[in-house]
């Protein structure tokens, strides 16, 4: 059953999703910069929420989307710098 669902999803995405939008292209362009700079972003978010006394699962649910968005934003900003443009 699982194998059939995975195969069906692969075929569906191969036939229906054939292009990239503007957001996908921008994220793809900045993926390496995001990879390089994601650790400090995640650490900063985790430390900033360390004083809040809530369940760890809830913290993860809050931090994960923020970390993804912030990592891509930081990577995009750093990639715009003239020095980093040639390297990243």
What is the pLDDT at residue 69? Answer: 92
What is the pLDDT at residue 49? Answer: 86
Is there a domain that residue 3 lies in?
Answer: no
- Among 78, 70, 76, 61, CA closest to 43: 70
Q: Give pLDDT tens digits along the chain (88 positions).
A: 889 999 999 999 888 887 788 888 888 888 898 999 999 999 998 898 888 888 888 888 988 998 999 999 999 899 888 888 778 7
Is there a domain that residue 56 lies in?
Answer: yes
Is there a domain that residue 72 lies in?
Answer: yes
**Residue carrying the six token digits 């970390």:** 67
Is there a domain that residue 8 lies in?
Answer: no
What is the pLDDT at residue 21? Answer: 84
Is there a domain that residue 64 lies in?
Answer: yes
Domain of 71?
Answer: 20-87
Is there a domain that residue 63 lies in?
Answer: yes
What is the count of structural domains for the chain?
Answer: 1
What is the pLDDT at residue 40? Answer: 93
Is there a domain that residue 4 lies in?
Answer: no
């Amino acid at each position: 059953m699982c194998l059939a669902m995975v195969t069906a999803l692969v075929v569906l995405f191969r036939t229906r999703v054939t292009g990239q939008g503007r957001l996908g292209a921008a994220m793809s362009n900045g993926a390496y910069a995001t990879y390089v700079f994601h650790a400090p972003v995640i650490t900063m978010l985790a430390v900033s929420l360390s004083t809040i006394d809530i369940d760890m699962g809830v913290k993860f649910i809050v931090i994960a989307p923020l970390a993804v968005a912030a990592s891509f934003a930081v990577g995009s900003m750093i990639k715009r710098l003239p020095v980093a443009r040639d390297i990243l």
